[in-house]
Structure 1
Amino acid sequence: KGQTYPRIRDYGNWHEIQFGSKKGYIHKLSTVPAIKFGQKKVGQSKTNIGTFVALKNAVIYDNSGKKLVPFATISKNIEYPIEVPYGNWVKIHIANRVGYVHKSDVKVSLKKQAKPGNLVNPNQVYTYEEMVRDISELEKAYPNLISKRIIGQSVDGRNIYAVKLGKGKTEIMINGSHHAREYITTNLLMEMIDVYAYAYSKNLRVDGYPVRSILNNASIWFVPMVNPDGVTLVQKGHRSAKNPAYVLKLNGGSTNFAAWKANIRGVDLNRQYPADWYRIAGNTGRPSPQNYKGPRPLNEPEAKAMVNFTLSRNFKTAVSYHSSGEIIYWHFNTPKQHEVRDRKIASMIASKTGYRLVPPSNNPSGGGFTDWFISTQKKPAFTPEVAPYVGNRPVPISYFPSIWKKNQAIGIMLADEAYKNRNTR
């Protein structure tokens, strides 16, 4: 009583609600309409790793606030799918919400082939809110291996997170979602964190790489979503912005933001970095869904946060993931003495992914994060485009298994390479 739930649809005298892999129905006479839904609707889990049977009427708790709040009960002897074990608790999805049930109240049966790294579900349209929650859960699950830092805030006030994975002093950085419609790169980075952490805890290998020994020597800093406002705009529309009328105007009045690349002010963040900024080609000259470089370098808080964070560390290598083309940019006015080194690492990435190296003569005109890193830090940086070209829209989530297969080892491979060559750069 008193709890609020999202429904799937109206069903005559009933509300239809998702319960595990089944539908549930609640009679309308037992409810009143909710003016506002306090909890975030999360949808149905797609990563069930087993089931439990309730040993008694098992209470389900919401832990999104400062204290546990009971919001559902699963009756004795009912079997229900599990998303992931969580200390003394089991995480489930129930009534389109995340819930936790105490292990003492249930009998758990895990699938024999539970996949490593069970906290992140990358096979979904992955939101900023999902990322924030998963970062918190990963930090709790691996407190001695994972830590987070807020490196800045977006125009609309969303936190920009950096996540450190590893114990070593040699550090590399991997970032994603500079461009709003390219949010599948966040899925990739969050899955890397999840799988590498699990492999570390179990002393497993990823594609032959001994994760524990590598992460004892090196650390990977991930910035999974550089442009949280833009990603949210593409996924949820103009009402997600603090100034909906402004983004609607920039988008020509259309409520379809699938093609949007910029931040919420209409500035392309990957044209904001001070690397040949004044010679950038194709600039729109005004705020736009894509390609506007802004009034000056580092005018936008997201790009400024990335530069300040990078300068606060000693990253040996940087990777900025983008989404469309299956190519790798690796060269930007690179001095001759670094070409052989950088091409060798780029070729390592190409051999794992199958992506084509872009010849130096075909480089973009500047302003990108890796352009800036290469030219100012004098160290290797790479921009892999992870999917086949799909046009001006987000890469379909159905592409993710293939993207993951090609890129699963890239982070740990580059951490290993950086440690082995730490004294040469």
Structure 2
Amino acid sequence: MRTRNLKAALVAVCLGAATLTVVGTTASAAPTTVAGAPAAAPAETAKRYLVTGPKTSAQRSRVARTGAAIDLVRPDDALEISAIPSEVAAIKRLGFTVTALGAFPRHAASAQSYHTHAETMAELDQVVANYPQIAKKFSIGRSYEGRDIVGVKISDNVAADEAEPEVFYQANIHARERITNEQALYFIGILTKEYNSTARITKLVNEREFWIIPILNPDGQIYDMTSDTQPGRMWRKNRQGVDLNRNYDYKWGCCGGSSSSPSSETYRGPSPASAPEIRAVQNFVKSRIVGGKQQIGMFLDIHSVANLVLWPFGYTTANTVPGSMSADEEAAHRTIGVEVARFNRYTPEQSSDLYITDGSSDDWLWGDQRIFSYTFELGGGNFYPAPSQIESLTQINRDPLLVLAEYADCPYRAINKQSQYCPPA
């Protein structure tokens, strides 16, 4: 099997050097704020509301344009949102009805049942200790408060950089979406524990390189989980105050899908990739360009709580975009999305069918890097599902996570055009 020099590949990275560090099992030093000072307190505080009246994607996009974060579209089309007072006023001016919602239900022992950041890092250490031949920790860089952004690489020859299709899954970009970390840990678990015992998983680990980051937003996750009142603080952004999923350097702030207000839940930041977490992701992804070719063939951003499978684009309602999304590219994205939705019973749709977003992960991974990209919105009814739901909410995505990885070598196989787009080397 041909191997590549990973260290050399990481030297030539755009936007500065991407720090892809193999991480041992020792604890990191106490974090220090990268920018030298904590973020300023917002002038307004977001609260939960129910919006009735919007029925279509266009109407939901008008709500999103105010800067409010649309948390959930209910079956009756009512929207659960997180919004600051000025956004609530703007939504009312659109003619929609806004009603205050209370806090999410408290769940006994919630904090103990979901993995804290420290417990997640300890579990990754244990995985590497138990399966050193196929699992290795890595860091793509540091968060705003100076914490390592840690993941696990899984492959049969994990110490080597092999010429195999690569899979990149990230979770917990939004701090309060706590179940997403559990989803990533579940998948790491089945890839390692079932290696050499389950034929399908053994084949994938032998033929793929998996890069999995369970907590992309460690500062926010820690802050959200240190609430005095369970289940959490409802914190969405990083601790710099930026919505990380509006900060990617593709169509940033282009189309009314984010906010310029630092108080807003969808604040896109002062400039593209201004958040250190997003710079780290983008640099890591670019570091996987080896010999002029992007090695990552499949990307997934794990969110909650809407039971959806989404694909690009979010910034435009057009299904195809000249030079950015051809008819075959759209068809392959859609066909794979529909296929995985048959397993988890989520609703499959283009991201903008929900509402317009800009500066999002999927749009950058596809628009900038041409990596087939998806978002899973896990279920559970709210951002803090009862601990008793964790197992069912994560296990339902066993097949979808595996299917995406199986398509990493040639997504065009989904539309029977592999001979056109993926000819034998």
Q: Look up the match of 2:198.
A: 204
CA distance in 2, matches of 1:399, 1:368: 28
2:348 equivalent among 347, 350, 357: 357
One-letter identity of the residue aligned with 1:400: I
Aligned-partner residue type, residue 172 of structure 1: V
Residue number in structure 1 paired with 2:368 = 376
Counterpart in 1 of 2:57? none
The code of the aligned residue for 2:171 comes to: G
Counterpart pick for 1:144 among 133, 141, 144 = 133
In 2, the alpha carbon distance for the partners of 1:193 and 1:416 equals 16
- Name the aligned partner's letter for residue 404 of structure 2: L
What is the alpha-carbon distance in structure 2 between the residues aligned to residue 419 and residue 64 of structure 1? 35
Q: Does the 8 Å CA contact 1:172/1:415 hold for their aligned counterparts?
A: yes
Structure scoring higher RCO (CA < 8 A, sep ≥ 6) equals 2
Q: 2:406 aligns with which of 405, 409, 416?
A: 416
Q: CA deviation at 1:311?
A: 1.1
Contact 2:135 2:152 (C-alpha < 8 Å) held by counterparts: yes
Q: Which moved more, 1:130-139 or 1:161-170?
A: 161-170
2:286 is paired with a residue whose SS is: helix
Equivalent residue, structure 2, for 1:30: none
Counterpart-to-counterpart distance in 1, 2:351 and 2:359: 16
Displacement, 1:312? 1.2
- From 371, 389, 397, give the equivalent of 1:399: 389
Aligned runs of 1:36-47 on 2, under 5 Å?
Answer: none
Letter in 1 for 2:371: K
Paired position in structure 2 for 1:84 = none
Matching residue of 1:105: none
Q: Is the partner of 1:317 in helix, strand or coil?
A: strand
- Give the letter for the 1:137 counterpart: Q
Identify the residue that residue 285 of structure 1 maps to in structure 2: 260
Q: For the Cα contact (< 8 Å) 2:174–2:244, is it kept in 1?
A: yes
Task: Note the alpha carbon deviations across 1:157-186, whole angstroms, 9 max, x for none.
Answer: 111012111236211111000001012111
**Structure 1: segments with no counterpart, 5+ residues:** 1-62, 66-121, 239-253
Query: Secondary structure at 2:378's aligned position in 1?
Result: strand
Q: CA deviation at 1:416?
A: 1.8
Q: Which amino acid in structure 2 is aligned with residue 293 of structure 1?
A: R
Cα pair distance change 1:179/1:340, threshold 3 Å: same
Say if 1:143 and 1:289 are closer, same or farther in 2 by CA, change over 3 A: farther
**Helix, strand or coil: the match of 1:358?**
strand
CA shift, 1:124, in A, is 1.8
User: Which residue among 284, 288, 307 is the counterpart of 1:326?
Assistant: 307
Identity value in percent: 26
Which position in structure 2 is the counterpart of 1:22?
A: none
Per the normalisation by structure 2, the TM-score is: 0.62
- Tell me by how many angstroms 1:282 deviates: 5.6
Q: CA RMSD in A?
A: 2.6
Alignment of 1:35-184 (within 5 A): 124-167=113-156, 169-184=164-179
Question: More strand by proportion, 1 or 2?
Answer: 1
Gaps of 5+ in 2: 1-24, 28-110, 157-161, 289-294, 314-320, 413-417
**Hey, what's the Cα distance between the residues in 2 that align with 1:256 and 1:325?**
19
In structure 2, the partner of 1:269 is 244
The 2-side partners of 1:287 and 1:376 are apart by 26
**If the length of structure 1 is used for normalisation, what is the TM-score?**
0.62
> Is 1:185 the equivalent of 2:180?
yes
Q: Matches of 1:270 and 1:296 in 2, distance apart?
A: 13
Aligned residues: 285
The one-letter code sitting in structure 2 at the alignment partner of 1:268 is D
Q: 1:172 to 1:129 in 2, by over 3 A?
A: same
Decide whether aligned partners of structure 1 residues 361 and 155 sit closer, same or farther in structure 2, where only a CA change above 3 A counts.
Answer: closer
SS of structure 2 residue aligned to 1:409: helix
Q: Deviations over 1:55-85 (max 9, x none)?
A: xxxxxxxx988xxxxxxxxxxxxxxxxxxxx
Indicate how the Cα distance of structure 1 residues 289 and 133 shifts in structure 2: closer, same or farther if over 3 A, else same: farther
One-letter identity of the residue aligned with 2:356: P
